[in-house]
Amino acid sequence: LLLAEQEKSERLLLNILPQPIADRLKRQETNIADGHADVTVMFADIVNFTRMSEEMSPNETVQLLNTIFSEFDLLAERYGIEKIKTIGDAYMAVAGVPHRRADHAHAAAKMALAMRDTIAQNVEHLGVEIRIGIASGPAVAGVIGKRKFAYDLWGDTVNTAARMESH
């Protein structure tokens, strides 16, 4: 029973953090922060979501976001990209973190095209369009907080990707 509970806890931790970061946290590192010289950050946002959600029930809103973001999670896994977080109706992911990879921009572009295609193939069913912004360059990644901690990403590359999405 104890082993089953430990495995459940491990799966839960790995749903929150990448494996290498979870390992460092388990070793009780207190300040997890890494500079990455070359990564590709991606933001995807649902067009006119705020207006759409005003006409939906809370349950419909969550169901729509869960359907879309679950598909994006599968794509992230397929392309070896790290989902960082969702922020409302935005999905943030990065290629090249926590493990360096030479093809980070290519992997992110392939995922972005697959995200676009997924939405396009289901536009009648989902009734949404997305915008995607991508930027490559340096970034800092780390864990912040003691309660409800988060693995997050910062830097000009992150800001540029967010701006690319919104424009």
Helices (H) and strands (E) in the chain, counts: 7, 5
45 a catalytic residue:
yes
Decide: 15 and 149 in contact? Cβ < 8 Å.
no
Q: Catalytic pick from 46, 84, 119, 130? A: 46
Residue 103 DSSP class: T
Rounded CA separation 85/73 (Å): 10
46 a catalytic residue:
yes
Rounded CA separation 19/30 (Å): 16
Helix crossing, 104-121 with 58-79: angle to 10°? 140
Closest CA relative to residue 154, chosen from 138, 133, 134, 135: 138
Place of tokens 């990644």: 141
Measured in degrees and rounded to the nearest 5, phi and psi for residue 2 equal: -65, -45
Q: Catalytic pick from 21, 68, 81, 89? A: 89
Catalytic residues: 45-46, 89
